[in-house]
Structure 1
Amino acid sequence: MIQATTQFDEITVFGARGHSLVILQAMEEHWQGRVKIHALIDDIEHGFRHPALDIPVISSGERRAMFGDVPVLVTPGSGNLRARMAAQLASEGAMLATATCFGMGHVDPGAEYGAGSLCVPHLRISPNVRIGAMAQILGAVLGHDVEIGANTSVGFGATVLGHVKIGANVVIAPGAILMNGTRARPLSIGDGAVIGIGAAVMRDVAPGARMVGNPAIPLRDWVRLQRLLKTR
């Protein structure tokens, strides 16, 4: 079982590379020095101080030995990696940090956050929004009555309009737009779907589909269209 908390003033961070650093820089705008980062965790390269942050980079084993009681913020961009790390940390009895921007004027106070989810500043969260475990929301706009599944990633500048249900392990790339559904029939994005950069989704998306373009179409159809155009 995953344990998580939104109340923390110290953490360790799983992730020590570019995407993780972007997240930490953004979160500091909200934390304003209130949260101490003891160490970054990287099981590939560790045993040094991070040159930009001057924070130790340690292994998972060192985290258990040195900071076993300190919540862990999981930051990689890959939802699959976040899910694996959540399972590993749960098996170790670790506490996950759930990073929200609660208290900011553009974030609805009634939003629900799953364990280990992460929402950076410069996003907007409207009423009746539920965010799944280990989901990551980066500078996006979430309209009213939106549900986001576990391990899903919503990129910078993406817009999710009202009455949309997004499954688990979905990738919404930067600049994508998901149009409104309705109360009776929310727009549905199936598990494992990928919505490409700048895509405009106007109808339901099947599980595992890869959508590109405006209006968004399956990637395989886009490839066929490009081939057809080249033969004309």
Structure 2
Amino acid sequence: MKGTDELDELVVYGARGTAELLIADLQEARKGRVRLRALVDDVNNGFQHPRLGVPVISSLRRREDFPNVPVLVSMSDVAVRTRIAMQLSDEDATLATVSPVGPGALASHPQIGVGSFFFSGTRIGPNIRTGVGVQVLGTLVAHDVTIGDFSNIGADASVYGHVEIADHVNIAPSAIVGNGSPGKPLKIGSGAILGVGAVVTRDVPAGARMVGNPAMTTQEWKQLRKLLSESSN
């Protein structure tokens, strides 16, 4: 899988709201220096985008017309972004990598994986490493944090210090992942889902779905609600 953060021009995979959000942020952060060439949508294409003024094309058309232009995969859905990025890699496409450029971010020298995107307003602390295809739209990634391949950190979410996030994790908007400690990081297992506004203060098993404050698995919340219902009768 190959990528670049030298983005004079760009094709964006996705033609809906998230794509427009990422494009607007990228253009503002880079002062309009990135030329958007096309949007890719394999379901609905063959027209000019009404707001962005560029063609919406199929992936086949991208390969024919823009084979050497870096591609930004905009989808927030972890499974969809993984599938498309792997498809593009098989086609030998170059994935666009967008490093953080917000206040203090560049001084931290984060290690950003191929095809990852950081929202320009995200504050980044020292010792941050990501795998490939990560999308970070959150408010804060504090320090000593690793983020696995194709994981997603939603808008206004915060990740504090000494945290290890495995592959294919989805952290929903406004969730908070609390601090681990040196030598004992807080761990979010592969494929876990943290719901909107969840407040995580302990390790999360692989594949778990966590909700609430403090965050519990959906099964634990069901059991708690059952106990509360029984106690009120």
For normalisation by structure 1, the TM-score amounts to 0.96
Cα distance in 1, alignment partners of residues 18 and 66 from structure 2 = 23
Query: Percent identity, aligned pairs only?
Result: 44
Aligned 8 A contact 1:169 1:192 in 2: yes
Partner in structure 2 of residue 8 of structure 1: 7
Cα distance in 2, alignment partners of residues 215 and 46 from structure 1 = 44
* Structure 1 segment 27-42 matched on structure 2, within 5 A: 27-42=26-41
Amino acid at match of 2:216: I
Cα distance in 1, alignment partners of residues 228 and 25 from structure 2 = 43
Partner in structure 2 of residue 87 of structure 1: 86
In structure 1, runs of 5+ residues without a counterpart are none
Structure 2 residue matching 1:22: 3-state secondary structure: helix
For normalisation by structure 2, the TM-score amounts to 0.95
Question: Does residue 156 of the first structure (1) align with residue 147 of the second (2)?
Answer: no
Cα distance in 1, alignment partners of residues 202 and 7 from structure 2 = 40
- Could you list the per-position Cα deviations for residues 169-224 of structure 1 after superposition, in whole angstroms to 9, with x for gaps in the alignment? 00111111111111110000000001111111111000000111111111111122
Partner in structure 2 of residue 229 of structure 1: 228
Aligned 8 A contact 1:101 1:120 in 2: yes
Question: Does residue 73 of the first structure (1) align with residue 87 of the second (2)?
Answer: no
Cα distance in 2, alignment partners of residues 101 and 194 from structure 1 = 24
* Structure 1 segment 11-22 matched on structure 2, within 5 A: 11-22=10-21
In structure 2, runs of 5+ residues without a counterpart are none
- Could you list the per-position Cα deviations for residues 135-171 of structure 1 after superposition, in whole angstroms to 9, with x for gaps in the alignment? 1000320011000001100011111110000000001
Aligned 8 A contact 1:108 1:126 in 2: no
Aligned 8 A contact 2:138 2:158 in 1: no
Structure 2 residue matching 1:225: 3-state secondary structure: helix
* Structure 1 segment 102-117 matched on structure 2, within 5 A: 102=101, 104-109=102-107, 110-117=109-116
Cα distance in 2, alignment partners of residues 140 and 132 from structure 1 = 19
Cα distance in 2, alignment partners of residues 170 and 98 from structure 1 = 19
Deviation, 1:16, is: 0.2
Amino acid at match of 2:60: G
